[in-house]
Structure 1
């Protein structure tokens, strides 16, 4: 499935938050932490606030690197979420909502003082 999202560049704030998560969880790959963050945001019942997000860090990846083997599933989840939130599923909406969900999720994970290791991420799933 072709994604309208080709490249992902994070904000400097998100990069710093991910560095904190990398240290605590020992997960070294940006894309894996970003997948967790994206899914964490999708699990929230409310849509993310439409705030401007700078693309001012040097952390960049393609959609395929971000999504890996589950890239198509993540794209479908994003489309479904946009539909559920009463938004369109056009290219620009998907790109914007993806960035908002990704950055909100990174903020949630970085701000959760209970996440100190990989098992704590897995525990988030078991709580739902």
Structure 2
């Protein structure tokens, strides 16, 4: 009678065979750690971009209060401690070009209609 090889023969064989298992586990743990670190970096970058966007929109809103006194074709630069806002009132299409530059290099461009 011929014995069939079964799983129990691997347990009785104590001559190694753990190298592939350890390498597989190590590569799996490394990939999960890499994905977690990458996800954390993207979350931090998104938070900083969002913070810069809202700060730029706030500066833009404050500077637009001055646009009511501007004449057509006039250019005005408004300085704040966090950055500056450039306003240019266009005469043809009744729009205001707004360029907001923060001190950290973030820039926001808008073309707004005059009401």
Q: TM-score band (shorter)?
A: under 0.3
**Larger relative helix fraction:** 1
Q: TM-score, normalised by structure 2?
A: 0.21
Between structures 1 and 2, the one with greater strand share: 2
Q: Which has the higher contact order (CA 8 A, sep 6+)?
A: 1
Larger radius of gyration: 2
TM-score by length of 1: 0.19
